[in-house]
Structure formats: C-alpha cells, structure tokens
Chain A
Amino acid sequence: MTEPLLAVENISKRFGATQALAGVQFDILPGEIHALTGENGAGKSTLMKIISGNYAPDTGQIRVNGTPVAFANPSQAKAAGIAIIHQELNTVPELTVAENLALGAEPTKSGVLDRRGMIAAARAKLALVGADIDPATPIGRLSVGLQQMIEIARAISEDAKILVLDEPTAALSQTESQTLFALLHEMRDRGMGLVYISHRMEEVWALADRITVLRDGCVVGTRAKAEVDPSEIVRMMVGREVHDLYLRSERAAGDVRLQVAGLAGAPGIGPVSFDVRAGEVVALVGLIGAGRTEVVRLIYGADKATSGTVTLDGVPLASRRPGRSIGHGVGLLPESRKDQALFLLMSVTDNVVISTLSRWSTAGVLARRALRKAVGALTERLRLKAASNNAEVRSLSGGNQQKVVLARMLAQEPKVLILDEPTRGVDIGAKSEIYRIINDIAKTGTAVLIVSSDLPEALGIADRLLVMRRGLIAAELGAVGATEEQVMEYATGVLSFEGTT
C-alpha cells in the first residue's frame, strides 16, 4: 500500500462544550482527489483549519509522509507542502496579476522592487496552473474563475504535494467550474493529493476518487467512489433518507401576475420580455454574468431601468423603488444575504419585520407584542433554529440566516416573489426546507421568479425555465422534460433561439 501524503489520526477538537471533531481519521494518497463532505457545521472547516495549522488539535496526530508533525501556524503547514484555497477570494483587485502572486514576498534587488523578476516568477507560477494570462493585467479585470486559478497558482509552490480546496466553486459559473475541475484532474495526475471540501453532491461525484462524510464532528465513513452511489452519500450526510429533495407539487397556474415587457437597463442588459403567472415558479438560468441578477433588480427597482415596463396584475408599476415595490407586493430576496439583506447586529425579530414595520406600528410607535407574535409564527413556520428571536442574526448558521430573509419576504405577503440564489451556501437540510417554503408560497397564488445557478435545482423546482445569455433571453423551456445539457447549450450559445419549438 502506498504511504499517504498526509494522514490525520484520531483528531479531536473541542470549543467550550461543543465537540467540533471527535476521533477523526482521514488520509490523502498521492494522485487522488479525496472529497470531504457533510452538512454545514459537520466539522469540515475545523478539520481543514487543523490541517492548515490554524488550530491545534486537542488529541490525535498528523503525519506528513509518515512523519509526525505539529503545525504551530499556517506557514509551517505551507512549508510542509500543504496549500490551502479558501472559499473567498483573497486578491487585491487594483494590483496586477504579478503583484498579487508576489504579495507579501515581493522580490527585491538591493532593496528596490525587482519588477522583471516578479513578472518572470509570475509566469512560472501561472504555467503551473496552465493559465495563459498577461501578468501585468490588473486582477480585478479578470473573471472570478480566472482569479481563482491565480489563487491556486499562488498557493502551490513548486514542491506543494497537497492541495486543500474549501468550497472553491461557490462563486464560479458552470464553465468556470469545468475549467477548474480539469485543472484539478491534471494536478492529481501529476501525483498531487487533493482534498476537495464541498457539500455539492454533483461536484463531489464528478471529481472525487474517495469520499469521506463528516457528520456532527465524526467520520460517518470513507468510501471509494466505485463502491457507492450518490444517494448513499447523501444518506450518510443527513443521517436519514432524503426522498425527493426537490419539491414541485401540482399547482395550477392562474392569470398573469407579473408581466415584463422590453425591460432594459445598463448597456448589454435586455431588452427582455416575459411573464409569470399566479402560482407559477419560473427560473431565470444562465451563466454567471448573463444578466439574470441585473434583470430582477430592474424589476424590483433596485436599479433604474432605461426602458420597458413592468406590470403587476395588469397595473403598470412606474418609477419603481424598493420601498414602493414592497408596497405593491413585489419582494426581492437579494443575491448576497450578508451584503444586501441582513443586519447582522440586529435581532431575528428586527430583521424579519424591517420592511413591514408600518404594519405593526401606529403613528410610528411599534406595537411590540403583535410584532413579536407575528415573527414567532413566521419563524415557527420556517422551522428557524435560533437561541431565540432576540438573538443577533450573526450568531445563526448560513441556512438559518437565509430563512430569516425568507421570513422577511413572507411577512411582506408578496404577490410576486423574486428569489436571487435562494439556496446559495446553505446545507442540504436547509435546502429541502427552502424548497418546501417556495412550493408553499406558490400554492397560495404568488408568482415566484427564481434566479439559480444550480441547474438541478432550477429543473427540479420550477415550472418553466428562462435561459439568459448576454443580457437577453435565449430560450424558454418547460422544466419537465428539459435536461441540464439542453439548458447549457442555450446558455453557452451552442443552440440558437430559432432552433427551439
């Protein structure tokens, strides 16, 4: 048997009374991709932080090539050949590719920056990841996918043997993910060991040679991919059977509620025309940058449209603004809950009612009892897990934070509900609950418009798909019978609109 590049033996870690990891065994062989998966809070990130030298384990042993090691800090782990790619990008947008690659270790010649040496070093590093980019380009001008390549180039030194990636595709489009996967396969074939942390089953399945599932800090099991099927992995993750993750109960589509005609905004966005009926779920799909988020922001009035009309139940909505849209019954769950939706220092209650305070106040004074009761009913309906509704929202997990934003949407009692990436960064348990909520909302006659980068999700929960490409709607498909391949062909422009029926 080959010697593992890295072996984690019987690692435990405790924070206060929380057992984050208990007796975890895990190893990485040369030339394999080992996926580490599990729901949020299962201990994936803690394990990664121990491997990368950010935390010291309470008990247990780490071995690199059979030699016991104890990392006191991340640079020691890096020196031992372990490279880490974090979920968020750590690039400085204003600096060039070469400057970003050299950041913190800029080459100097007698105290002066050695620009030529820096560019040469950058080329060598970019070659490692097979990226053909001019090192003098400001990194902010590159796509997120390319920036991530550069992060990988920065993380792996020439002698890196182990690469750990934490949810690397969170911000990537489908094609960017494919390019990344190709690179990861190539690195594996060169004999590196890769740890791929993700809770996206499709990716884990597409990439991994072995899969380890964590739950509540313990290893549920490690399986070679050849020995298992995806549903078994999901079962291991949640500890229960997940039937029908996607929920689309029989709904009768009613009259047209939302009608968008010739809507256009910033250059390259629109014009688009479509409508959504009462009780219907329509998904806007396409690659990152296809203009989906821009279109829904124009409908909601978060950005100003340059032309076109939006009609709600036959009544045109002129000069749209967020406050007015909410008043008319149009709700938007924004793309990024932390940046655009949540008030992290405020309570669950405050976050839920912030858009609808006028309903629970007389002459501006809050009716606090009625308000708390309404929030209590909503959080119960959404099965929100929080210490109490007075808890600060920052103390909640990602899935529960998203439920807080959903509760705000429900409090608005919308006629049209727009959800921009409603399940991004939430675990599978919370996902299935969010699908249940979306289904419930649609059943009450609300028109639901979803932006999703998760194609199985869009196909699973929507009635119709609108495929966007370069700011326009490239195709309209009924969700039943449509395939991911078909959608991708429209999204990438392989098929043209005329080809559809």
Chain B
Amino acid sequence: MSESVTVADVVTGRRQNTGERIFFWWDRVGILLILVLLMALMTVTAPNFASFDNAMNVLRSISINAILASGMTLVILTAGIDLSVGSTLAVAGCVGVLLHVAGAPMIVAVGGGVLAGALAGAVNGGLSAWLLMPPFIVTLGAMTYLRGIAYTSTGGLPVIADDLSFAALGNSYVWVVPTPVIVMLIVYALIWFLLERTRFGRHVYAVGGNPEAARLAGINVKRVLVLVYTICGATAGLGGIIFAARVMSAQPNGGQSYELDAIAAVVLGGTALSGGRGKIIGTLIGALIIGVLSNGLVLMNVPYFTQLIVKGLVIVAAVALDSVRRLVTNAS
C-alpha cells in the first residue's frame, strides 16, 4: 500500500484504501476512459468510424435519448424514476404536429408539445409527492395511459405533415452541426447550470441524499419533487418535438422503450439510483457510450440481435460496477 498522501485523500479528507482510491478516480474519469477506449476500439475495427461525418451522425443519433436522459438525471438524483418518458415523447410529438395541422404557428406547436410533456411530468410528480405513491408505479401507469392518449389523439394512425413548420429542428444544420445536436448541447448547458449554480440544484441533491434532513432544513421537498418531474416531462416533450421533426409526422407508437435507454445513459454516467449522487455531464457521456456502441456495431455489420446482447450486457456491467463501488466504499 502506498505511504504517500494521494489526491483522493486530500479531496475526501480521509485516508483512502486501494479500492476507495480506484473508485475515487473512477467517479471522475472512469466513464470518460471507457468512452475513449471504446472510440479507440471502434476506430481500429469499424470502417469509417473515425470521420467527421460519422461523428456528427453519432451525435445526431444520440440527441433525442440524451435530451430524455437529461431530465431523467434530475429525477434519479432525487432517488426517483420516470418510466413514462417514451410515452410522453409520443404525446408531445402528436400535440406538436396536430397543432401545426390545425394551423397554429410554429412557436405554439413547439411550445404546446413541450408544455404537454411538462404537464404529464407535473402529474407524475404531484402524485408521488403529495399522495406518497412510489414513482415507479405512478410512472408505470403514466407510461400506459399516455401511450393511450397518443393513439387516441391521432386515431391510432401516424399523421404525416410534409410542410411541418418546425421540421428544421430535426433535419437542418447550424453550419456543419445538426440542429438537434445544438438543441441537446443547450439543454445540457441549462441543466448543468441549474444543478451546479442555483438554489434549486442544491435542493435536488439534498432531497435525493436525505429527504428527512431536507425537510427539517426547511426545504419544500414536495415542491422540489414536482418541479423535477415537470422538468423531466418537459425534456421528454422537447425530445418528442425533435422526434416528430425528424420523421415529419406524428407517430403515436414512437418512443417505445426509450425510457430504458434514457435510464441506461443516466446510470452509465455514474448517477446512483439511490439518489443524491451524480453529475449531468456523466449522463451525456453515458448517452455517448450507448451511441458509439450502436454506431460501431452497425458499421462492423454486427447483426441486430447481437447488438442487443452487447448493449444489454454493457448496461448490466455498468450497474454492477456501481454496486461494487458501494460494497467497497461501505466496507471501510
């Protein structure tokens, strides 16, 4: 065992054993390291992986999942979960397209979709905060009824809109960068600011870390929870608008199982499902890992069924890592 004082000791203010020291660094650079290694591996094995065009492809392909995962990060930081984001995405897309079809201006169509998502989230948050219902159950129900609302709104069929006013949100470029990527980066910058620089951000970590202490410290825990689910719904709504813009239509069956990819990105990014610990930047890296993996496997012509196996195992491995960390840090 090393005798010298390490950076990990200084930051945590305590002697670290080897296991703790590994996880100290893992928390800070581990997930980034995996992304870099994965990209190096793909560069060597997958044809055309390392090109600017493909990089933009990967970023565009992850943008919707990453936007869903950004709101999901807030929810998971409070030790909650939102299983309804995939269905929320569908509802918001339908609302946006139907408003457009009804003649609403672009700003109303886009705003309406995002608001619909926020409303769905507020209902989730309200039920779990005020009626003390477990978020898993509340959002499991919402996943089903929101899907039903999406189907009902279009009569079960897609609504094609060739002249969709907000189509640019999904398909255009800002200089050489796809617009959805720009939107994604803005969302991450906002949520980073919210978590790191505002009172609300501190409250989110406090509520997730110790709800009873948060209450006694004067934090309105229920309000924080409602806001967190509302924001998660709004990001899912924004994801739905971009989704609809990409496919130039309202797709009531769109976004199925997207909640799982979003949760996977959050967990891969190092946010603890038990709440109170995690960083928004980790979620972005988590979404990138999923995106690079899918992209590389496609470029390598790996069959789709095998891709599913690989992706699933990567997610399980990431969660296993989190459990091992907890075992190591609690054992001391």
Would you give the shortest CB distance from A333 to chain B, in whole angstroms?
Answer: 9
A327 to B217, CA, bound (A): 11
Name the residue on B nearest A356 (C-beta): B218
What are the residues of chain A within 8 A of B209 when measuring CB–CB? 343-346
**Closest A residue by C-beta to B329:** A394
In the complex, what residue of chain A is closest to B196 when comparing beta carbons? A366
A366: B residues at CB distance < 8 A: 197-199, 202
- For chain B, residues 1 to 22, give those with C-beta under 8 angstroms from any C-beta of chain A: 1-5, 9-17
Q: CB-defined interface of B141-161 with A at 8 Å, one 1/0 digit per residue?
A: 000000000000000000000
Bound-state CA distance A395–B3 (Å) is 19
Q: A390 contacts the other chain (Cβ, under 8 Å)?
A: yes
Contact with B along A5-31 (1 / 0, CB 8 A): 000000000011110000000000000
Measured as residues with beta carbon below 8 angstroms from the partner, the interface class of chain B is 35 or more
**Does B325 reach chain A (CB closer than 8 Å)?**
no
Chain A interface main SS type = mixed
Q: Is A108 in the interface zone, CB < 8 Å from B?
A: no
The answer on a CB contact under 8 Å between A16 and B206 is: no
**In chain A, residues 291-327, which have Cβ atoms closer than 8 Å to a Cβ of chain B?**
300, 302, 322-327
Q: Are A15 and B17 in contact (CB under 8 A)?
A: yes
Chain A residues with CB under 8 A of B13: 386-388, 391-392, 395-396
Q: Does A98 contact B (CB under 8 A)?
A: no
Are A390 and B11 in touch, CB under 8 angstroms? yes
A298 → B minimal CB distance (Å): 13
Residue A350 at the chain B interface, CB threshold 8 Å = yes
B257 is an interface residue with CB less than 8 A from chain A:
no
Known: A340-B213, A343-B210. A355 touches B218 (CB 8 A): yes
Across the interface, name the chain B residue whose C-beta is closest to A300: B216
Within 8 A of B (CB), among A345-370: 345-346, 350, 353-355, 357-358, 361, 364-366, 368
Contact of B199 among A326, A341, A364 (CB under 8 A): A364
Q: Chain A residues with Cβ under 8 A from B218's Cβ? A: 322-327, 355
Number of residue pairs A-B, CB distance < 8 angstroms: 112
Question: A16-B2, A16-B3, A344-B209 known; A391 and B12 CB under 8 Å?
Answer: yes
A354/B15 contact (C-beta < 8 A), A302-B216, A322-B217, A339-B212 known: no
B23 near A: Cβ within 8 Å?
no
Q: Taking each of B5, B210, B217, B276, which has the highest tally of chain A beta carbons within 10 Å of its own beta carbon? A: B217
Residue of B nearest to A341 (CB): B213
Chain A residues in 8 Å Cβ range of B17: 15-16
Chain A residue total in the interface (Cβ 8 A):
42
A392 / chain B contacts, CB cutoff of 8 Å: 12-13
Q: B205 contacts A350, CB within 8 Å?
A: yes
In the bound assembly, the distance between CA atoms of A302 and B215 in angstroms comes to 8
Closest-CB distance, B224 to chain A (whole angstroms): 12
Q: Is B220 an interface residue (CB 8 A)?
A: yes
The answer to whether A355 and B217 touch (CB under 8 A), given A17-B3, A342-B210, A364-B200, is yes
What are the residues of chain B within 8 A of A322 when measuring CB–CB? 215-218
A323 to B14, CA, bound (A): 33
Q: Are B198 and A387 in contact (CB under 8 A)?
A: no
Find chain B residues with CB under 8 A from A342 CB: 210, 213
Q: Are A361 and B199 in contact (CB under 8 A)?
A: yes
Q: Are B1 and A343 in contact (CB under 8 A)?
A: no
CB distance from A85 to the nearest CB of B (A): 21
List residues of chain A with CB within 8 A of the CB of B219.
Answer: 323, 354-355
Q: Is the CB of B197 within 8 A of A365?
A: yes
Cα distance A142–B325 when bound, in Å? Answer: 36
Nearest opposing residue in chain B for A367, CB measure: B197
With beta carbons under 8 angstroms apart, the residue of A15, A325, A327, A355 that contacts B15 is: A15
Does A408 touch B at the CB level, under 8 Å?
yes
Q: Is the C-beta of B277 less than 8 angstroms from some C-beta in chain A?
A: yes
> Which residues of B have CB within 8 Å of A450?
none
The reply to whether the CB of A135 lies closer than 8 angstroms to some CB of chain B is: no
* Contacts of A378-397 to chain B: CB distance below 8 A: 386-388, 390-392, 395-396
A15 to B18, CA, bound (A): 11
- A441 interfacial contact with B, CB 8 Å: no
**A contact residues around B202 at 8 Å (CB):** 346, 350, 353-354, 357, 366
Q: B15 touching A346 by the CB < 8 A rule?
A: no
Which B residues are CB-close (under 8 A) to A398? none
Which A residues between 67 and 113 are near B, CB-CB below 8 angstroms?
none
The distance in angstroms between the C-alpha atoms of A342 and B210, with both chains bound, is 7
Distance A343 CA – B215 CA, assembled complex (angstroms): 12
The one of B11, B15, B200, B276 in contact with A17, judged by C-beta atoms closer than 8 angstroms, is B15
A395-B200 CB under 8 A given contacts A17-B5, A323-B219? no
CA distance A111 to B15 in the complex (A): 47
Instruction: Provide the residues of chain A in CB contact with B3, threshold 8 Å.
Output: 16-17
- Provide the residues of chain B in CB contact with A364, threshold 8 Å: 198-200
Q: Mark A244-262, 1 if CB is under 8 A from B, else 0.
A: 0000000000000000000
Which B residues, 244 to 302, have Cβ-Cβ distances below 8 Å to chain A? 276-277
Which of chain A's residues has its CB closest to B210's CB? A343
Query: Which A residues are in CB contact (< 8 Å) with B217?
Result: 322, 326, 341, 354-355, 408
Residues of A within 8 A of B205 (CB): 343, 345-346, 350
Question: How far is it, in angstroms, between the C-alpha of A346 and the C-alpha of B200 when the chains are bound?
Answer: 15
| Bound-complex Cα distance A350 to B216 (A) | 15
A345-B277, A366-B202 are known; give 19 further A-B pairs, CB within 8 A.
A16-B3, A16-B9, A323-B220, A326-B217, A339-B212, A341-B216, A343-B276, A344-B210, A345-B276, A354-B217, A364-B199, A365-B198, A365-B199, A386-B13, A387-B13, A387-B14, A390-B11, A391-B13, A395-B12
Which 10 residue pairs of A and B lie closest in terms of their CB atoms, listed nearest first?
A387-B13, A323-B218, A391-B13, A395-B14, A343-B209, A326-B218, A357-B199, A395-B13, A16-B15, A355-B217
Give the B-binding residues of A (Cβ under 8 A).
15-18, 300, 302, 322-327, 332, 334, 339-346, 350, 353-355, 357-358, 361, 364-366, 368, 386-388, 390-392, 395-396, 408
Q: Can you pick out 9 interface pairs between chain A and chain B where the beta carbons lie within 8 Å of each other?
A: A334-B216, A342-B210, A343-B213, A345-B209, A346-B206, A355-B218, A366-B197, A366-B199, A392-B12
B residues neighboring A (CB under 8 Å) = 1-5, 9-17, 197-200, 202-203, 205-206, 209-210, 212-220, 276-277
